Amino acid sequence: MAWQDFAGDTTEDLIEYIRWREKPEDKNTSDDAFIAFCFRFRDDVQTKCRIICRNRGYDNTIGDEIADATFDRFLKYPQYKTAKCKSGDTDKCVRLYLYRFAARILSDYVKAEKRGPNPFMGDEEIVTEYLDVEALEIDAERKAVIEKRYSIIKGALDRLTPKHKIIYLTYKQYEQQLKEGFNFPRSFLKKLQDELELTQSSIRVYKKEAFDKVEEYINIYGKK
């Protein structure tokens, strides 16, 4: 089959076919359905993206990039639910759904432009061991301060599990980048999940527990 064979299918059917993408035997069907879907909504989405981009001071080139990213995101997350379409006009509801995608992508684009280039390059490493303070080439006074702080951190994390320790040290290693609004690449998060045999939700719980425990210990012992 070719994508033209899907031109007469309903939008609901096209979305259903697109969701078959993860099945190897149905990937070609999914790909063709997605092309038909793009042809059906491309002009509307592109026009909308150019308008919202011009309103933010960007040209049509950026608008077209946002439109492309909108369809890419829909392909990755085809979560549209027909039941939520109150008007009964599926195509209209899908357009509005895609417009919301576009607005979020543009917002992310604007934030990224203000922040500068993403510092995460895909070579991030999971941190499993504490910093070797003795190996630092710094003056003795500064080294003593760091050793004291690390002693407190170790004391806190020793009350928890090795997984808490790894999560704390890893997030602490990249704390500045995360504070600036950047996120770990998905590939790195998957690597961390596999290493620890935890879901991302569980990692968030472990992270909070670890940081809360360290903060508690610093408040108790850091002022002595």
Q: What is the pLDDT of residues 102-122, one digit of tens each?
A: 999 999 888 877 776 778 888
- Structural domain for 78, as ranges: 3-115
**What is the rounded CA–CA span in Å between residue 133 and residue 187?**
30
pLDDT at 84 over 70: yes
Contacts of 164-167 with C-beta under 8 Å, sequence gap 24+, read 164/206, 164/209, 164/210, 164/213, 165/128, 165/210, 166/126, 166/127, 166/128, 166/195, 166/196, 167/192, 167/196, 167/203, 167/206, 167/207, 167/210
- Last residue of a domain, which of 69, 87, 115? 115
pLDDT at 1 over 70: no
What per-residue confidence (pLDDT) applies to 120?
82
What is the helix (H) or strand (E) element at residue 8, kind and residue range?
Answer: none
In a domain, 89, yes or no: yes
Same domain, 76 and 160: no
Please give the backbone phi and psi of residue 145, each rounded to the nearest 5 degrees, phi first.
Answer: -65, -45
Among 17-21, 74-78, 118-122, the range scoring the smallest mean pLDDT is 118-122
In a domain, 125, yes or no: no
**How many domains would you assign to the chain?**
2
In a domain, 164, yes or no: yes
Per-residue pLDDT tens digits for 169-187:
999 999 988 887 778 888 8
Same domain, 183 and 89: no
C-alpha to C-alpha distances, 25 to 9, 94, 119, nearest whole angstrom = 20, 27, 38
Which residues are within 8 A (CB) of 23 and not within 5 positions of it... i.e. 6 or more apart?
Answer: 30
What per-residue confidence (pLDDT) applies to 143?
82
Angle among Cα 158, 216, 176 to the nearest 5 degrees reads: 85
pLDDT at 205 over 80: yes
What per-residue confidence (pLDDT) applies to 220?
85
Stretch 52-74: mean pLDDT, rounded? 93
Tokens representing residue 67 in the block: 């439109």
- Last residue of a domain, which of 57, 88, 115? 115
